Amino acid sequence: MPLPKYDKTLLVIVAEAVLERALVRDATQLGAQAWTASEVRGAAREGLREGQWEADRTVELKLLCDAAVADAIAEHVLRTYAGHYSVSMHFSPVQVLRPDRY
């Protein structure tokens, strides 16, 4: 018997670490029920972010949620933060086993 799977959206937000608390707060207020945050390093058009000093730290926030919730969060992040901070986002369709968690 096949394992039942349920469609969700993975929204990944990579942003300046100073935004982590605000992003988590906003995402949960907009309907995200679960998230994972990690400190990361990388480079983009804005330049290299190695995290060697406090203002150079970067966080990756992963959110599993319904597509409409992911869209609402991304729209909010673009409108509220992207004009003033380094922020990138991407979406991926995923399947989960326990949909009530997300």
pLDDT digits (tens, 9 = 90+) for 40-54: 987 766 665 554 555
Q: Where are the domains of the chain?
A: 6-97
pLDDT in tens, 10-39: 999 999 999 999 999 999 999 999 999 999
| Residue type (1 letter), 8 | K
Mean pLDDT of the region 56-66: 93
Q: Would you tell me how many other CB atoms lie within 10 Å of the CB of residue 38? A: 10
Q: Is 61 exposed, middle or buried (0-12, 13-18, 19+ CB in 10 A)?
A: buried
Q: Would you state the pLDDT for residue 8? A: 97
For residues 36 and 62, the answer to whether their CB atoms sit within 8 Å is yes
Nearest to 69 by CA among 24, 32, 94: 32
Indicate the burial class of 12 (C-beta count within 10 angstroms; 0-12, 13-18, 19 or more): middle
CA neighbours closer than 13 Å in the CB half-sphere of residue 39: 11
Model-level pTM?
0.87
Q: What CATH topology corresponds to 6-97?
A: Alpha-Beta Plaits (3.30.70)
